[in-house]
Structure formats: structure tokens, C-alpha cells
Structure 1
Amino acid sequence: MKPVEVCINAALEGGKAAAGVLEAKTNTKRDRDVGHHAIVGVADYTSQFEILKTLRRLDPEAWYITEENVQDSKFRKFYVKSVSHLLAQRVYIIDELDGSSSHSIGHYEWSVSVGYVERLRHTAGAIYAPSVWGGALFSAELGKGAWSQLGSDKPSRIKIGKRSLPQAYILFGPDNFMPQYPLHNKLTLKVADKARTINICGSCALGLGMVAAGKADALIQPLQNVWDWTAGKLILEEAGGSISFYEMQRGKVIPIEHLKSEHYEPKERTLGFIAGNGALVRELMKQLLALQ
């Protein structure tokens, strides 16, 4: 089975499993970047179990990175513990439930994503949001384009939107409003004044899928983990979009041209990004850098 098919199957199984969980209680994670805003619940681990079970069945020799600690001991053998593994292995990078806070209160804005990387080369990815548009599935295979399937509709090829800033619908991740990101605080005000409208998307992967499908024009994120963007990066690029990554040091934005192995470190939020059509990404990055 091709990696893109594995990604799709795994994302669907994880999403269906998470959708069936009504959270009675969630736990606050120890996250030095966003503090008590990060939570984990039964749905995260239920999704994880189904995803890993699917991977072991469909691609038993592959390795993987997950957001949450692997709960079931039989799945731990192929868990990537060091970035060095990424340089020599085929790796699925998984976000079991992106938008746990939304899911925990029955809100629709959450997704499951599975990206596939072979020696740091992104070659497949899938994002599934069960509660959006009757179930929204976004997927891509390197060199084969990007696709979406909304509810019972047939899969269709997707293309990035071409709107400029005055007509644009811009998504911001909620971290843009955190006090540790003053540049992004200012950027939200600036873009809100210049764009058609702005909105917050509480699921990074879902936001990337929406932008790839032309249902939003850009997504702006400060530092994120590798599982937040791996699947969406390829989907966006195969849809004709652009994603500009940057590091941050002492509050300063430092654009990068190429991803390196250290950017895939599971334990760190290594990169922020702006995603959209090329012209809009360049304009938004210019505005962000001008605030320094």
C-alpha cells in the first residue's frame, strides 16, 4: 500500500475513534510554551491507539513520532526517540488530536493528521476533521497533487486561493495572542485592519487543509511542533501554495530557507510559519519582519 493510502486510512481511523469519545475529564499537560492551555484526554489516546494499530497493520516496518506519549507498550519499539532516526528511516509523524480543547467541549474545530517523511523528504500526508463539512479529508502525495473529500462528496482536486490581502480571509493560530509573542500580537492588529477579515483556527492541521483547499487564504503560526505541520505542509504545497518557516530567538523572527533535521525535534517547538499563496505569504512575512 502506498504511504498516502496508509496516511489516509490511519487518519480516518483515528478521527472516527476520537469522534466517539465524550470527554468526562481532561488533564493539563506540562507545556513550558503555552502552559495550562495544553490539555490531553481519553480521546487523544483512543485516536493514537487506532492510528498506530493501522500503521502496524499496513506498514509494519515504518517508524513514527506522536504528540502524546505512546501508551501501549507493543507500539513503542518503532517510536522515534532521536532526530537521527529521521535521517535513515521512513517515519510517520502523527497528531492524534489537534484541537483537544475544542473536542473536549463538543466543538467542531479539531482534526487528526498523519504525515509521511522519508529521510526528511515529505512524500505523503492526510488530515481528517470529522466534524467539519460532514467530515473533511485532505490528502496529498508528492508530485501527484492534493485532494479533498467533504462529507459524502467525491474526492476532488484542490488548489490554493489567489486573493490578495485586501480580499483575504486570514487564519491565526491561538498562540498568536499569547504574551510571549509580542510581534504576533501586533501582527494580528495590523492584519485585521488590512485584510477582509481574520479568524482564529484552533487546529493547526485543519487550518492548513482549509488554506490548501482555498477555504481560507493564509494561516499564521508562531512556534509549533513538528506534528502540527508535517501533513499539512505537503498538502498545501501540492495544492500550489507556499509555506515560509522561521525560527525565533529571544523574540526575534529568523526566516529559514531549508528545513534541517533539528527542526523535527519532537520535544521542542522549533518553527513558526506563514502559509498561503506565494504573494500573500511574502506580504505577510514582510509585515511580520517590519515589526521587529
Structure 2
Amino acid sequence: MSAEISAEPMTGPHGQDPATLDPLARQLAETVTAAGAIALAMFRRSIKTWTKGNDSPVTEADMAVDAFLRERLLALDPALGWLSEESEDSPARLSARRLWVVDPIDGTRAFMAGGTDWAVSAALVEDGRPVAAALFAPASEELFTAVAGGGARRNGVVLRAGTRAALEEAAVAGPAADMDSLSRFAAVQRLPRVRSLALRIARVATGEIDIAFAGGNSSDWDIAAADLIVHEAAGRLTTRDGAVPRYNAPVPRHAPLICAGPALHDAALSAVRHPLPSLQHRTHHD
């Protein structure tokens, strides 16, 4: 389940040369890394926390990182739209062909508990799909980057999702209901919960996780950066209908998702399409 290095040539979306995104992608990575340093300086310290209207926790670190990212990223191109978990949503983004999609701290509960499975996530979305991404996990010093058509990297090393084709002994992370569904078909390895959904998906790109699940109701900011990272590593992230996620909808939320390497995705998708009867009415869980 180790990452592989690939030298295969790739082409970008809409015939786009990946090199044209490189300067912006570099600035994105630098900005996300600096934002991670802000969060890390507040990590495992006494800071203010509260609960938002949807029962989600938020901290002053989330807000500080959000403000930093908004200032720095919008300065790169003021014409770009903006969507962030910690910023007030604006309908103006719907008319933007290109926009930043940001989660200042993905895995806030992990951050608050002193765990290491949290990250700063940002993606540039164009025409509904991410074209540049940076995901930084400061506590584990991991920087994931990707450019559409240009591959994905962790700390500079090119990534390739695992080539496992059999469900048997596959390393799986996500909601218990989904792992129960897989267990009907094969004896899988249940991994500890990765509380950052973005990191959970990104670890499919590294081969550390074979199959990652997201329950219903994940938002654009949870998955946009990780989506590009795993796809550029030749992995697949789709709904249970096999559809690739689209971004910047009026309601930026997603149906349950499944992520796996190219040889394993179809088998995993088939398994979760036929859940245990006792689990069919479970509520969503990320």
C-alpha cells in the first residue's frame, strides 16, 4: 500500500497546459502552508471554541486561518469567487466560473482534542471541478498538492493510488455502516477513524488506505482539494451512482461518496450498493 512514482505524461482539462496553473498552484501551496503554521501555533493551547447553528464546532483558530486564506488567496485574483466553511456564503459565487473552495481546519474536532488528523484544505475550482489543490496537515508535516493534468504529490513525491483489486484484506476507513456492508463480501481491515475527511481521501492517493467512505452531507470544502489529489493519483472518488462530484452548486453538499484505487473502486461500489437491510435507514455520517 505504498505510494508509487509515475512519470506518465498527463493532459489538463479543456486542453489546458498544466504549466499555466503552476505559478498559481505554487502560491496556493505556499499560502496553505503559512495558514497551517497559524493553526499549529494555536494547537493544543487554550483557545475559544463554540458551536455553530448546525451543531458543528468552531474555534478561533478556524476563524484566524479563514481570514488569512481569504485575504491572501483573493489577492492573487480578486475576480475569483469564494466558498469557505467559516465565511458567510454569497450567491455571487454562483456566477463565478472560477472560485476558491476552502476549509480552514478540516477535522476541527481532532484539532480540539489534540489529535493529529486535521488539515488546512484549499482548491481552485473551475467549471465545477478542482484544477489546483493544496492540503496541509501541520501536525504530521504533510503537504499534498495537485494540478489538473499534472499529477499529485506529498512533500514533493509523486503519488499513485494502490493497485489492489480484491476486497479481501483491503484497508478501509469511514462510517461503520459502510464497513459493515463491505464485511458481507470480504474480511476487510477496519482502520481507525480519520477525522479529517480530506485526509481520509488523500490517504487513498498515497496507498495507505485502500477504500475511504464519506457519509452523506459532506460539503464542497470538505472534499474539493482531496478530490483532485486522489484523481491525479489515478484513484477514483464518486457517488454510489458512480458520478464524479461537481462543485459550486447552490447547495454545496454531496451524497455519500466512495474513494478507492482504480482496480478496487468498482468492487467496493458494488458492495455498498447492496447494504445490510438493518443499515438501510441509518442517518448520514461523515
Tell me the TM-score normalised to structure 1 length. Answer: 0.78
Deviation at 1:283, TM superposition (A): 1.5
Find 1:17's aligned residue among 32, 38, 63: 38
Q: Quickly say closer, same or farther: Cα 1:121–1:109, change in 2 above 3 A.
A: closer
Deviation at 1:267, TM superposition (A): 4.7
Q: Percent sequence identity over matched residues? A: 25
Alignment check: 8 A CA contact 2:211 2:268 kept: no
Q: Quickly say closer, same or farther: Cα 1:90–1:83, change in 2 above 3 A.
A: closer
Find 1:147's aligned residue among 149, 153, 171: 153
Q: Quickly say closer, same or farther: Cα 1:259–1:156, change in 2 above 3 A.
A: closer
- Number of residue pairs matched? 251
Matched, 1:237 2:231: yes
Deviation at 1:82, TM superposition (A): 5.1
Matched, 1:218 2:224: no
Query: How far apart are the structure 2 equivalents of 1:136 and 1:92?
Result: 21
Alignment check: 8 A CA contact 2:238 2:245 kept: no
Alignment check: 8 A CA contact 1:139 1:235 kept: yes
2:68 is matched with: 50
* 1:188-234 Cα shifts (integer Å, max 9, x gaps): 7547x621333311001111221111122121111211111101111
* 1:252-291 Cα shifts (integer Å, max 9, x gaps): xxx153545xx53465532221111123221221111112
Matched, 1:119 2:127: yes
Tell me the TM-score normalised to structure 2 length. Answer: 0.79
Amino acid aligned to 1:20: A
1:2 is paired with a residue whose SS is helix
2:17 is matched with: none
Alignment check: 8 A CA contact 2:173 2:179 kept: no
What runs of 5+ residues in structure 2 fail to find an aligned partner? 1-21, 281-286
| Bigger relative contact order, structure 1 or 2 (CA pairs below 8 A, ≥6 apart) | 2
Alignment check: 8 A CA contact 2:237 2:244 kept: no
1:4 is matched with: 25
Alignment check: 8 A CA contact 1:23 1:43 kept: no
- Which aligned pairs between 1:242-253 and structure 2 lie closer than 5 A? 242-246=236-240
1:289 is matched with: 273
1:236 is paired with a residue whose SS is helix
1:108 is matched with: 116
* 1:148-183 Cα shifts (integer Å, max 9, x gaps): 11xxxxx111111122322321111xxx25xxxxx5
Amino acid aligned to 2:219: N
Deviation at 1:62, TM superposition (A): 1.7
Q: Quickly say closer, same or farther: Cα 1:121–1:3, change in 2 above 3 A.
A: farther
Amino acid aligned to 1:137: L
2:163 is paired with a residue whose SS is coil
Alignment check: 8 A CA contact 1:48 1:96 kept: yes
Q: Quickly say closer, same or farther: Cα 1:23–1:96, change in 2 above 3 A.
A: farther
1:227 is matched with: 221
Matched, 1:158 2:159: yes
More strand by share: 1
1:171 is matched with: 173
2:94 is matched with: 84
Alignment check: 8 A CA contact 1:13 1:47 kept: no
Report the aligned-residue RMSD. 2.3
Q: Quickly say closer, same or farther: Cα 1:288–1:185, change in 2 above 3 A.
A: same
